[in-house]
Amino acid sequence: MKSRLSGNEAVAYAMKQVNPDVMGAFPITPSTEIAEYFAAYVANGEVNTEFVTVESEHSSMSVCIAAQAAGARSVCATSSCGLALMYELLYVAASCRLPITLACVNRALSGPININHDYSDSMGARDSGWIQIYAENNQEAYDNFIMAIPIGEAPEVRLPVMTCMDGFITSHAVENIELLDTGVVRQFVGEYSPQHYLLKKENPLAVGPYDISAYYMEHKVQEAEAMKAAKARILEVAKEFEKISGRRYGLFEEYRMEDADLALVIMGSSAGTGKTAVDKLREAGIKAGLVKIRVFRPFPGEELAQTLAGTRAVAVMDKSEGFSANGGPLFAETRSALYDLKQRPYLINIVYGLGGRDIKVEDFEQVFKRLASIAESGDIHPVYSHMGHRTKGAIA
Amino acid sequence: MSKVYNLKREVEKPPRLTGGHRLCAGCGAGVVVAGVLRALNKEDRAVVVNATGCVEVSTFMYPYTAYTDSFIHSAFENAAATCSGVEAAYKALQRRGKVNGVVKFITFAGDGGTYDIGFQSLSGAMERGHDMVYVCYDNEAYMNTGIQRSSSTPRFARTTTSPVGSAGQGKPQNKKDITEIMVAHHIPYVAQTAPLGNFKDLHIKSHKAIYTEGPCFLNILSPCPRGWDYPASKLAEITRLAVETCVWPLFEVEEGIWRLSYIPKKKLPVEEFLRPQGRFRHMFLKGNEWMIETAQAYVDEKWERLLERTGA
C-alpha cells in the first residue's frame, strides 16, 4: 500500500501493525510523535497494548525490561538525553538478553541543549550490547523496525535492538512510503514465545542476579557471542523481508562501489546527499562511490574491509564527536576493520553536521576533491578534521 | 487468610524466602521480607521485585535464589518502575489469554532505593495506579554500601557520611516522612509497621496491602546491627523500643482514613531506644543532653500530630 508518512508516523504505524504487548512512553523531541500516534491507536482501540505512560525515560526502559522479562513483547521510543537517561538500563536489557525494540530518533546530546540531528546519543550507547540499525529515510525506518523484532527475538541472538533514524530530517519529513499489509507484518514478526519468563506458571524464574566474578565473565562472553551471531540473523531476516516487500537490505549499502577509487563511508540521511555528489562526479569521469553503514552493531568489519579493499582513498564521515582526539566512532571502527587488509586505502575522518548543521552536495564534492589529492600525493594530514563549522575569523 | 492470626500456623507454611540467604545475623530486613511474603495466600503466585541493596545482593547471588517465586532486579533507582513493567505485562498477557491465575506483585527496596534515588520511580508508579505493593524496608541509611546517611536517617545518627567529630554531631537533618508523602498520593492503602513481637501487625498489614486492588505502600522498620551498632541478638528488643517510645508508630491509612494500630500503655522516653545503639552513643556524652531533649521533643510533636490525625 502506497502512502505518505513522516518517519515518526511510519515507525508508529509499524508499531501498530506489530501490536506489541507493552509500550513504555515518555516524550522527548523529536521522538515524541511516536508515542502520540501510538496513544491515539490505543484510544481508538486499534491496538490492545498495555501503554505505560511513565515519568521518565529511565522508567520507560525499566518497564520494558521488566515486561519483556515477564514474557511480554515490549517497545519504546526516545531521543538524545532520553537515551542518555536510559544508559544504565540499556546494559541491563542486553545482559538480561531481553529483545526489546527501541526506536531511537537521533538528536544531539546536551550540552549545550540542541534538538537537532546528530548521532551523539546512539553512538554513546554503541557499546551497551544493543544491535543498532540506521535508516536513511522513512521507508528504511519503517522496514528496520519490523525487521528488528525477528532479529532480536531469535534464540541465538536474544538481544535488544535500536532502530535509528535522523531526528527531524527523517522523523518529521513526509515522504512517499510503501506499507505492508498488517496481516503480513503480524505473520512476519510472529508471536513472542520466550522459553523462560517471570509469569510462566510451570517454572518460576529469577532475573538480574548479583553476578560475582566466578560467573560474570561467562555471561559477558555469551553476550558477545550473541552479538556475533546477530550478523547472520540480520541477513537471514533481510532475505525473508525481501520476499514480502521486494526491498533488499544488507549490513551496509554499496553505492557505485564496483570500481570506485574514492569512497565515502557514511550513515543515515546524509547518504542521500552523498549519493547525488557521487553521481555528479561519475558524470565527470571520477570513480567515486559510497558505503552507507546500515548495521553499526554488530559492526560489519570484515565485509566493509572487502568492499573498501580496491579503493585508493576513503573519507569516513562521522556525524558525532567522540572527543577521543583521534577521530569519531565510525572512523575508529572503519580504520580498525581495514587493518587486516594487505593493501589499505588512505583513510581520513571528517566530523560534520553536529547539532543539525547542514551538509550539501558541494560539501561532499569538496571531500572527494581532497580524496583525489590524497590518492595522488599520499598526504593524509590532517587525518581527522571538522567540516562545516565557522572559523574564529569567520565569526568575527 | 483465617480471621484469627496464629503465628504458629503462619510459620508452618512453606517459606517463600528460604534459608541460606546471606543477610547478616540480627538483620531486620530478612525477617521483614519473609514476613511480608508469608501474608500471601498459599495458592497464589507472586513476582518479587528488588531494588539494588542488601536484600538483593544477599538473596539472589548467581546461581542461587532464596525466593520460591519469580523474581526480578534490574537497578537501584527503578524498583517501582520495574514492578510496573511486570504488572503491565501481566495485564497485557492476561488480556490476550496467555497467562491466568492470581499473580501478586511485591517490591522490596531499602530506604535509599525509596526515600532517595528511587523516589521518582516510586511516585510515578503510585500515581499510575499499578496493582502492586511497594515495601520499604527502612534501615535508615545506605547499609549495603557501608552505612552512609540517607534522607531516612534520623537526626544525630552517626553514619560514615555524617560522622561524629569536633565539628560534626551526626546527621544534622531530621528524617523525611515518606509514609506521609505516600499518603498524599491518595493510594488505597498506606501503612507503617515493624517486625514486632508475634508479627501480627506486619502480617495483617501485608495481607491487606497485597489483597487491596491498586498501589499500596508499606514502610517497615528494619533495624540493622551493623549500621545501628547493636548486638545481633537485640533485634527484637530494638524493634520493641522503637515502637514503645513512639519513634516508630504503627498506623495505617486506608482510603484516606487514618488509623492508629497501637498505643503504648506507657510511652517510654526516647533515650531508651537511643541508648542501646552505637550510632547514637555521642548523644549520651556530657554536654550533649540537648540532643536527647531535641530528639524527645521531635518524637513528641510527631506523635501528638498522629494522635490528632487518627482521632485516638
Domain match, A180 and A319 both: no
Region of B295 please: left (phi>0), alpha (psi -120 to 50) or beta: alpha
Q: What is the total count of domains within chain B?
A: 1
Q: How many CB atoms lie within 10 A of CB A277?
A: 22
Chain B residues within 8 A of A200 when measuring between CB atoms: 70
Q: How many CB atoms lie within 10 A of CB A55?
A: 18
- Residue A86 CB contacts under 8 Å (≥ 6 apart), including other chains: A57, A58, A60, A61, A78
Q: How many pairs of residues across A and B have Cβ atoms under 8 Å apart?
A: 164
* Number of helices followed by number of strands (H, E) in chain B: 11, 10
A229-233 contacts: CB < 8 A, separation 24 or more?
A229/A154, A229/A156, A229/A157, A230/A131, A230/A151, A230/A157, A230/A159, A230/A298, A231/A295, A231/A298, A231/A300, A233/A151, A233/A154, A233/A156, A233/A157
Strands A74-78 and A22-25: parallel
Report whether pLDDT(B1) > 90: no
Domain match, A57 and A139 both: yes
Q: What is the mean pLDDT of residues A8-22?
A: 98
pTM for this structure? 0.98
Q: What is the mean pLDDT of residues A51-80?
A: 98
Domain match, A174 and A296 both: no
Q: What is the mean pLDDT of residues A334-357?
A: 97
Name the grid cell of B77.
533507582
Shortest alpha-carbon distance between residue B259 and chain A (Å): 31
Using the 3D structure, point to which of A208, A224, A245 is the last residue of a domain.
A245
Residue B1 lies in a domain: no
Q: What is the total count of domains within chain A?
A: 2
Q: Tell me, yes or no, if A19 comes closer than 8 A to chain B by beta carbon.
A: no
Phi, psi of A360 (to 5 degrees): -115, 165
Q: Which of B71, B88, B99 sits opposite A63 (nearest CB)?
A: B88
Report whether pLDDT(B3) > 80: no
Q: What is the DSSP letter of B225?
A: I
Domain match, A240 and A369 both: no
Domain match, A288 and A171 both: no
Domain match, A257 and A135 both: no
| Model pLDDT for residues A265-315, shown as the tens digit of each residue | 999 999 999 999 999 999 999 999 999 999 999 999 999 999 999 999 999
Strands B133-138 and B103-110: parallel
Which residue has cell 546527621? B171
Domain match, A38 and A111 both: yes
User: How far apart, in whole angstroms, are the C-alpha atoms of residue A132 and residue A294?
Assistant: 8
Report whether pLDDT(A153) > 90: yes
Chain A residues within 8 A of B88 when measuring between CB atoms: 22, 50, 52, 63, 66-67, 72
CATH classification of the domain holding B189:
3.40.50.970
Cβ distance B82 to A64 less than 8 Å, yes or no, reads no
Grade residue A159 by pLDDT with cuts at 50, 70 and 90.
Answer: very high
CATH classification of the domain holding A131:
3.40.50.970
> Which of A210, A219, A222 best tests the B interface by mutation, with the highest count of B CBs <10 A?
A210
Q: What is the mean pLDDT of residues A157-163?
A: 98
Cβ distance A89 to B75 less than 8 Å, yes or no, reads yes
Report whether pLDDT(B151) > 80: yes
Chain B residues within 8 A of A68 when measuring between CB atoms: 89
Q: What is the DSSP letter of B233?
A: G
Amino acid making up residue A227: M
Cβ distance B124 to A56 less than 8 Å, yes or no, reads yes
Cβ distance A72 to B89 less than 8 Å, yes or no, reads yes
Chain A residues within 8 A of B101 when measuring between CB atoms: 201
Amino acid making up residue B220: I
Cβ distance B75 to A92 less than 8 Å, yes or no, reads yes
Q: Among residues B139, B122, B115, B133, which one has the least CA distance to residue B58?
A: B139
Contact in structure between B192 and B248 (CB atoms under 8 Å): yes
In 3-state terms chain B splits into helix, strand, coil percentages (rounded to 5) of 40, 20, 40
Report whether pLDDT(A257) > 90: yes
Q: Which of B61, B75, B93 sits opposite A199 (nearest CB)?
A: B93
To 5 degrees, how large is the angle CA B60–CA B65–CA B69? 115
pLDDT of amino acid A394: 78
Using the 3D structure, point to which of A245, A276, A305 is the last residue of a domain.
A245
B10-16 contacts: CB < 8 A, separation 24 or more?
B10/B38, B10/B199, B10/B203, B11/B38, B13/B38, B13/B42, B14/B42, B14/B68, B15/B68, B16/B40, B16/B46, B16/B67, B16/B68, B16/B69
Collapse the DSSP code of B258 into the 3-class scheme (helix H, G, I; strand E, B; otherwise coil) and give the result.
strand
pLDDT of amino acid A224: 98
User: How far apart, in whole angstroms, are the C-alpha atoms of residue B306 and residue B243?
Assistant: 14
Q: Which of B99, B121, B123 sits opposite A199 (nearest CB)?
A: B99
Q: What is the helix (H) or strand (E) element at residue B136, kind and residue range?
A: strand B133-138
Q: Tell me, yes or no, if A332 comes closer than 8 A to chain B by beta carbon.
A: no
Domain boundaries, position B162: 7-310
Shortest alpha-carbon distance between residue B204 and chain A (Å): 26
Domain match, A205 and A260 both: no
Name the grid cell of B116.
532517595
Grade residue B2 by pLDDT with cuts at 50, 70 and 90.
Answer: low
pLDDT of amino acid A23: 98
Residue B69 lies in a domain: yes
Which residue has cell 511497594? B134
Kindly report the average pLDDT of chain B as a whole number.
Answer: 97
Beta-bridge partners for A24: A52, A76
For chain A, the farthest-separated pair of C-alpha atoms sits apart, in whole angstroms, at 72
Collapse the DSSP code of B304 into the 3-class scheme (helix H, G, I; strand E, B; otherwise coil) and give the result.
helix
Q: What is the mean pLDDT of residues B53-81?
A: 98
Using the 3D structure, point to which of A186, A214, A245 is the last residue of a domain.
A245
Report whether pLDDT(A396) > 70: no
Kindly report the average pLDDT of chain A as a whole number.
Answer: 97
- Residue B264 CB contacts under 8 Å (≥ 6 apart), including other chains: B243, B244, B245, B246
Domain match, A147 and A112 both: yes
Name the residue in chain A with its Cα closest to that of B75.
A89
Q: Among residues A133, A153, A132, A152, which one has the least CA distance to residue A143?
A: A133
| Model pLDDT for residues B87-140, shown as the tens digit of each residue | 999 999 999 999 999 999 999 999 999 999 999 999 999 999 999 999 999 999
Domain match, A302 and A263 both: yes
Residue % of chain B over a pLDDT of 90: 98
User: How far apart, in whole angstroms, are the C-alpha atoms of residue A320 and residue A270?
Assistant: 13
User: How far apart, in whole angstroms, are the C-alpha atoms of residue A338 and residue A302?
Assistant: 8
User: How far apart, in whole angstroms, are the C-alpha atoms of residue B112 and residue B149?
Assistant: 9
Domain match, A154 and A241 both: yes
Domain match, A33 and A155 both: yes
pLDDT of amino acid A133: 99
Name the grid cell of B218.
508499606
Contact in structure between B137 and B55 (CB atoms under 8 Å): yes
| Model pLDDT for residues B207-236, shown as the tens digit of each residue | 999 999 999 999 999 999 999 999 999 999
Domain boundaries, position A285: 252-395
| CA B113 to chain centroid | 11
Residue % of chain A over a pLDDT of 70: 99
